Amino acid sequence: MLSKAIEITKTADILLIIGTSMQVYPAAGLIQYAKDNIPIYFVNPNTDFKTKGNVTLVLEKATIGVPILVNQLLD
């Protein structure tokens, strides 16, 4: 299913990454397939993930961070 995930990521208008350390490959590499200009949101309370300019970190666990993010996106 990784090929399918890559194709979906390539065409996404927004990318949400929720509850991962970004250390487990090949799934962690999907971010590389996102278009350069799309917003990327990463929800995780503990991360040393090196972000690029269009990545917004939400430093909360998923149960708290996802509702916060949804509210931000709907405003």
Please write the tens of the pLDDT for every residue from 29-61: 999 999 989 999 999 998 777 666 788 999 999
As for how many domains the chain has, the answer is: 1
Full residue range of the structural domain in which residue 38 is found: 2-74
3-state secondary structure the chain: CHHHHHHHHHHCCCEEEECCCCCCCCHHHHHHHCCCCCCEEEECCCCCCCCCCCEEEECCCHHHHHHHHHHHHHC
CATH of the domain at 11: 3.40.50.1220
Mean pLDDT for all residues in the chain = 90
- State both tokens at 7: 């194709």
Where is pLDDT greater, at 18 or 53? 18
As a whole number of angstroms, the distance between CA 32 and CA 26 comes to 11
Structure-token match 């149960």, residue found: 63
